Chains A and B, each alone.
Chain A
Amino acid sequence: MNSSELRRAACAYLGCRGEVPEELFALVDGCMEEARSLAHFRAVAREYTAPLPFLRQEPYAGFLAGCSGYALVAMTLGAEAERRVRALMTLDPARAVVLDACASALVECEADAWEECLGPARTYRFCPGYGGSDVADNAYIFRELDPSRIGMQLLPSGMIAPQKSMAGIVGLGKRAHRTCENCMAAAGCIYKKEGRTCYPEKGC
């Protein structure tokens, strides 16, 4: 993993724009190291050829058009980083928010790296909640994969616990990259307004 890309992603989560002071970089680097030491990345996935009923509707149908199959994925960094962020919030809240951002960047990065095992011809990860889809669709993914065995739970509110976790769909047999157009937060996105993205444009 490229550490400068990871650092950039963490800074983006912190809303940093323009010139970032060196001391903040140092804090981010220290927290990234801590996030790595706390991370226990785990993933479960399953490949399919026939679409499950919920994937026959938009926006999933469009997302998977042209794919030969797809994989459902559920991944988590575990709860350690989250626990540490909570603890630090009482002692050193500035460090807590930076660690939180580092863990967010790290789980995305680990997930991207893990997905390489699905082969080069694949799309980006489309998570329920993106592009007008319903976050409640996570329930279908959880039903298929039962990621409780890697310590993930879908809460009744539709949230996933631990926080640094994600569930999604990766199209197979077709290449497609992430864009702002399929992001749930695109409408009010401050990065988009500034012509930037919230994630590393290349993987890390």
Chain B
Amino acid sequence: MLSGKGLLIFDGGMGSEFERMGLEGDPVELNVTHPEQVRAVHRAYVQAGADVITANSFGLNRIKYRGEYPLERLVRAAVENARSAGREVFFDVGPTGALLAPVGTLTFDEAYEAYAEIARLTSDMVGGYIAETFSDLYELKACVLALKECSDKPVYATVTFDRTGRTLTGSTPEIVALLLEGLGVDALGVNCSLGPAELFPLVQRMLAVTDLPVIVQPNRGLPVWREGRTQYDLSDEEFARWAEKYAQAGVAVLGGCCGTTPETIRRIAHLKGREVPARSVPRVTQVCSATQLVAMDGVRICGERLNPTGKPKLRDALREGNADYLVAEALRQEEAGADLLDLNVGVPGLDEPAVMQRAVLAVQESCALPLQLDSSDAAALEAGARYYNGIPLLNSVNGEEAVMARVFPVAKKYGAVVLGLTMDDGGVPRTARERAVIAQRIIERAAQYGIPRHRVMIDTLVLTASAEQPLVGETLGALSLVRGMGVNTALGVSNVSFGLPARALLNRTFLVMALSHGLNMPILNPLDAEMTGAVRAFDVLANADRGAARYIELYKDMQPAAGAANAAGAARTAEAPPVKNLYESVLRGLAGEAASFAAAELAQHAPLEVVNGTLIPALNEVGALYAQGKLFLPQLISCAEAAKAAFAVVGEKFGKDANVRGKIVLATVKGDVHDIGKNIVKVVAQSHGYTVVDLGKDVAKERVVEAALREKPLVVGLSALMTTTVKSMEETIAALRAAGCTAPIYVGGAVLNAQIARTIGADGYTPDAPSFVAALDALSARRG
């Protein structure tokens, strides 16, 4: 409806009108209780000049609305009331009011289902949807996907920003605009939040990155608390002056939010139909997470370590569903300076789409870097792209028609950037020119699927110098050709050195050569400080790191004799006082030293001797000092980490499947999201050599039962923080008993004590991590 009609006027706030009429209660229920008054407000907006009427349906979804009326009845009444005004009706879709996991407990799928229900109920009755006042882009993504998948009507989407210029969950105007554009909304923008003056710079930022129609519905100024209620003081004249500025800036749809009235809309109605100025938006290849946007306008490092090929520990972690391992690996790469991370979960025998979905959720919860989803399985790419809270890079397609036909629709639907490999059914062509031909084919085919050039990157493929020495130059030549097409490039650089000695030297040299030929995104190990150092140095010499500011900040303390790898952390090692043995390392909480001393002790003693002769006594002393108040919680944990590092070394001697001291299952029960206590218990238990199966927080009793029966643990440990979730703990215990779980069940948490533990059927209660481990030790000894 936007094309060719010029600027469109939406209506204004409903709440202030209801308040003026003296109507109280839940505004959506007024659709049924006071339909005439609701219709009167809609009519007033039509008379004021609104082109589009939004139904009085904000927050009408099964999660937010908990009142007495059936949802369907309210939905129908809201639409009928709006339609009675005789204008185009958009259904107003608001947030659920619930926070998505892991901060809250709402899942992406639950949010999706709530919005899908709304779309199914209304699709035949409305002209379109306006999803508005969203402060979490992830929830808005669920909403937009639901509306688009369950209806063919236009979808407008707007968010709220606060004074920091971000949404509550940290997304910038650019991230919001690019992600929504990628999802294929028909218009995007801002509503509510602030007044028109405060929103203006944020809207300008959106206009600068998208050529989609932009919609703005501000509040009538900033709220003022007066006479016991929120009031808005900006005059309608001033609001109208700002509307004029918005129209001149290129906004295509204007309306009002809190505090605006039919009079406000009447003052801006003259803008209706005004030609929306065309704007030229420079297009850059960009990927993002919810909070970080990475533009490929310089060299960007893609961390390669989340890929199980040749990494048995990561493979095991993926098999076991050990998300912590993935997260730690992601964070290490982030700290080492990666700009985005490759995520590959391809392990034979695993359900790759399911694992990809879980891995995306786990990594994005903790790491802010954008992700490159890496799979040859289009279903896995789709699972990742759907649940990814951002714009992913999809790795990859190649010149094969069948592959492009599988992957491009996924990229189009989710607004992803696609990485194309310059190979096809005939393999990797030998010459740069042939590779450029494939690149051209990929770019053209992408365009046919509606994927513009700036959402394509090309990998010109590295072959090993040992086997295909003459072709190294062809890879580089292809980089230049592809860059000449206005497309960004990527390479997995370390492949070049395979089969040759001193690989690091070749890798580093090749990296610099490739950067000189126009490589934008080297895929490499960011923990290799020589490689990241080469990129940082290149940025200085290529005049990208202006004034060498970043370079100086990173390397100002580097000693002339030391390599880049030694620059960081040099100060720390210099200050660390020496420790003499494993026992002392554990007591002082020094993980690196503990691992080294453990290895040294293993050269002379049997693994069990190291455990029972040194590690356990050291941990016992740690526990005693903690009990006496001579060691505090952070120190207890550092000691535990040191012991854990030693146990890891000892564990290798026992063999891969060694279960040194027994297994325990830990969970924070359903409904409870506070898990720091459980996590402390986990670290301390692991430090004593126990294998921990950590089910996480807000865990349904069925999952606890399933894990207990599968793992046959020494103990099941449950935690709950509040009286309200102790009930959930009791139900979990009952479910465990009913399922025939014979493992003792131990409980802990702030509101528990031994008596409550007995009452809810637990076998034991421990007040803190050391006492839990003491109980484990006793059980373990009894078991022999």
Contact = CB atoms under 8 A, between A and B. Distances in A.
Contacts of B98: 153
Contact of A15 (B104, B633, B674, B750): B633
Contacts of B722: 135, 157-159
A175 interface: no
Contacts of A42: 162
Interface string B315-346: 00000000011011001100000000000000
B633 A155 contact: no
B676 A94 contact: no
A100 interface: yes
A159 B674 contact: yes
A135 B633 CA distance: 28
A162 B103 contact: yes
A188 interface: yes
A83 B100 CA distance: 13
Contacts of A156: 105, 671
Contacts of A47: 228
Contacts of A11: 632
Interface stretch (A16-24, A53-61, A105-113): A16-24
Interface string A68-84: 00000000001110110
Contacts of B105: 155-156, 161
Given A87-B327, A93-B637, A163 B674 contact: yes
A38 to B, nearest CB: 10
A45 to B, nearest CB: 8
A174 interface: no
B103 A83 contact: yes
A153 B97 contact: yes
Nearest to B768: A15
Contacts of B753: 188
Interface string A91-130: 1111111101000000000000000000000000000000
Contacts of A141: none
Nearest to A27: B634
B637 A97 contact: yes
Interface size class of B (residues with CB under 8 A): 35 or more
A90 interface: yes
Contacts of A18: 629-630
Nearest to B326: A90
Contact of B679 (A48, A89, A135): A89
Contact of B589 (A94, A97, A98, A159): A94
A85 B676 contact: yes
A148 B95 contact: yes
Interface stretch (B143-151, B202-210, B723-731): B723-731
A151 interface: yes
Contacts of B169: 79, 151
B673 A86 contact: no
Contacts of A186: none
Contact of A24 (B325, B327, B632, B674): B632
Given A86-B365, A89-B679, A157 B637 contact: no
A161 B164 contact: no
B135 A151 contact: yes
Contacts of A79: 99, 103, 169
Given A93-B680, A155-B105, A98 B673 contact: no
Contacts of A157: 671-672, 722, 724-725, 728
B473 interface: no
A150 interface: yes
A136 B724 contact: yes
B634 A14 contact: yes
Contacts of A148: 95, 97
Interface in A152-190: 153, 155-159, 161-163, 185, 188
Contacts of A36: none
A86 B328 CA distance: 11
B199 to A, nearest CB: 16
Interface in B165-182: 168-170
A98 B366 CA distance: 17
Given A20-B632, A24-B635, A151-B99, A90 B328 contact: yes
B641 interface: yes
Nearest to A18: B629
Given A27-B634, A156-B671, A159-B673, A94 B103 contact: no
A83 B363 CA distance: 11
Interface string B96-125: 011100111100000000000000000000
B634 A185 contact: no
A14 B104 contact: no
B683 interface: yes
B478 to A, nearest CB: 38
A82 B169 CA distance: 12
Contact of A155 (B367, B630, B673): B673
B638 interface: yes
B721 interface: yes
Nearest to A184: B751
Given A151-B135, A159-B674, A188-B753, A86 B633 contact: no
B633 A87 contact: no
B634 A94 contact: yes
Most chain B beta-carbon neighbours within 10 Å: one of A96, A151, A162, A188 = A151
A17 B724 contact: no
B104 A153 contact: yes
A83 B366 contact: yes
Nearest to A152: B99
A159 B103 CA distance: 11
B167 to A, nearest CB: 9
A74 B324 CA distance: 33
Nearest to B166: A40
B360 to A, nearest CB: 15
A21 B46 CA distance: 70
A27 B637 CA distance: 13
Given A79-B103, A157-B671, A163-B674, A40 B164 contact: yes
Interface string B614-637: 000000000000000110111101
A24 B635 CA distance: 8
A66 to B, nearest CB: 21
A87 B674 contact: no
A135 B726 CA distance: 13
Interface in B291-308: none
B721 A86 contact: no
A77 to B, nearest CB: 12
Specify which of A92, A157, A161 lies most central, judged by the most chain B CB atoms within 10 Å of its CB: A157
A80 B723 CA distance: 26
A96 B420 CA distance: 40
A91 B331 CA distance: 8
Interface string B212-235: 000000000000000010000000
A129 to B, nearest CB: 8
Contacts of A100: 676
A153 B102 CA distance: 13
A16 B676 CA distance: 17
A150 B632 contact: no
B637 A86 contact: no
Nearest to B334: A87
Contact of A14 (B136, B168, B632): B632
Interface string B643-680: 00000000000000000000000000001111010011
Given A15-B633, A16-B633, A40-B164, 19 more contacts: A14-B634, A24-B635, A27-B634, A79-B103, A80-B170, A83-B102, A83-B366, A87-B366, A90-B324, A90-B325, A91-B331, A93-B679, A135-B724, A146-B97, A155-B673, A156-B105, A159-B673, A159-B722, A163-B673
The 8 closest A-B pairs by CB, nearest first: A87-B366, A157-B671, A151-B168, A94-B637, A158-B724, A90-B328, A148-B97, A79-B103
Interface of B: 95, 97-99, 102-105, 135-136, 162, 164, 168-170, 228, 324-325, 327-328, 331-332, 365-367, 589, 629-630, 632-635, 637-638, 640-641, 671-674, 676, 679-680, 683, 721-725, 728, 750, 753
10 contacts: A18-B630, A83-B102, A83-B103, A90-B324, A96-B676, A97-B676, A98-B634, A135-B722, A148-B97, A157-B671
